[in-house]
Structure 1
Amino acid sequence: MATLSDYFERICILNLPYKPERRERLTRHLAEQGFEKNITWVRSYSGDKMPPPAWWNAGNGAWGCLLSHARVLAEAIADGIENVLILEDDVVFQPDAGSLLKGFMKQAPDDWGQIYLGGQHLKDPTPVAGSSYVLKCHCVNRTHAFAVHKRAMVRMHQHIWHAPDYMQHPGGWHVDHQLGTAHERGDWSVYGPSYWIAGQDAEWSNISGRYNSRHWWHPCTWSKHLPFIWLPPAVGATLHGDERWLHGGYNLKPNTFEDIGLDVAAISDDRLSAWLNVAAREALDIEKLPAVQHPYIGIDRLKKIWHGGVIPWAPRCMERTASMQLHDLRTRVLELSGEEYDIPKHGGHPQAGSPVLTVD
């Protein structure tokens, strides 16, 4: 199985010394993945203990984040490292991350300056011809899992310290926003997998001070391949714990799994289709299955409108169902990438039903 050290010369994990529980969680997680080799734990800087200068306006947590990433880059430059992978201690990997990583790195172009294993696209990525699992990135936020090649290190280090850029954004400008500016300009080549390998685990954020649920921010194009779970109205919100694996919207009525927006969406098929697309994108972001519960939305109507499939709810089965459906989506991603972006592979179009993520 592929490991991180197969592709990255140095692997650094940023961790605040007063957050030992994060280090313990991630140590176990990396061991489960077989990713625990050649890891360097790097002491993160605290913006509370090292306050920012007067021109900084994005808060102490974001200042500590900038200092910490700049430190890793500076040390990699000073040591002449070929490339470095920087992980934050709230990173989480897909269950089959080793296979996904191997498939992606096999296709990653040789000119890469930065690789994101996880992030959030703020501008739509574009396909890379002949590399169905690789996307060229044009503006990526988040800093929980990215690698930098030496061809981009010095320029990146200079860029993230360019104070005037931060000063021009009085509402707050973080290091990932600054990196996004470089992506948009094309300062170096940036790539990522068409389905993220790494996400951010549910944690209290050092930057925002808020509790964030586990997020992946996958490209929304894949959401239409997720099946909806149809919930009979009579079951209310008594789902025997299955609600942990389902997303029915962010504005549920009390004691139900009905989203408030469905009262209007149910009026017409067009409105319902639009709601379904939004709910599916939200569900994919947090890797749950989208769900519908409403007295005017029967299973036959839902099947007619949603072409990604519909599964009737069965009590205490959703954990297994969600795991299987998401695994199926991950293992089909090469095939889907070629079809979605119409990318020729080896001189021809991808063949339906062909093996995927099978690498030498």
Structure 2
Amino acid sequence: MTLLVTGGAGFIGSNFIQYWHQQYPEDTIRNLDALTYAGTLENLREVESAPQYTFIHGSICDKELVDSAMEGVGLVVHFAAESHVDRSIRNPQIFLETNVIGTQVLLDAAVKHTVRRFHHISTDEVFGTLELGGSEKFSETTPYSPRSPYAASKAGSDHLVRAYGETYGLPYSISNCSNNYGPRQFPEKLIALTITNCIDGKPVPVYGDGKQVRDWLYVLDHCTAIEQIILSDHCNTTFLVGGETKETSNLEIITQILSEMNIPETVLEYIVDRPGHDRKYSVDWSHIYNTLGWQPSVTLKEGLAKTIAWYRANEAWWRPLKEQNKAYFQAQYHNTN
């Protein structure tokens, strides 16, 4: 089988490519990536020399390039996206261009080349926010209510994928996942930022009161969920993918990391909250469990320990990224970076 993976030089995409190549070494993988700030070929050193792997440098908004990349493809796994809420608040336009128009370009090419399955990676943020202290969880039937430019752009792409399924008969599947973490995550995201700041002896920023609740999914668990979805016969459907059964606030995540790294809580620095910051995400992943038998295999404690160990062992990977984006980190997190 030939796969086209978009955004495969990024965090989740690169983990997926490496996982898929290990599990299905005979499959051909084409990786289309624009190599924006969050994507690097360093993430793919383990597969770059494999004859089954090809890297294509370019944007998913480039119609001619996408059309060429789609030739002979049986499966599309679409990761490519602008994904950081803070950046979407600063510059919404690039999120609409990549996440909505780029998805439309891919869908047109997938229809033209009669792709057997188009799998779209999305987020639980399209559903909006839940009330702190409540028992409600997001499910596959939760109405969309995006509250940030990022979430709105991903909601738009979700609707486009479904529309192409209904209008053009494109076989598709969608997975709305919770917050991912693990090796190779760009160090602007909460867990990676906390770990790298601790290694550097810098203050750790906490938005607002830190009571925002998120569901945390270890990246390799996410890869196995995608695998089970795209290899199943369940088409033209959506699965929510989560990693926890217990709610955990951002502050609790940060203090767990500090404890694991033997760092005192005096490094915490509370900063002005993000505009429109969603208070709670909680995912009911019972549908994928009941339908496909998938469930996360890595506990939060185990996943944090693995992630801390990876960042400690790979300073040569993340230090240049933080240095190259120094102006952004200083502007976004004030004097904590």
Quickly name the TM-score band, shorter chain normalised.
0.3 to 0.5
Q: Which structure has the highest helix share of the two?
A: 2
Larger radius of gyration: 1
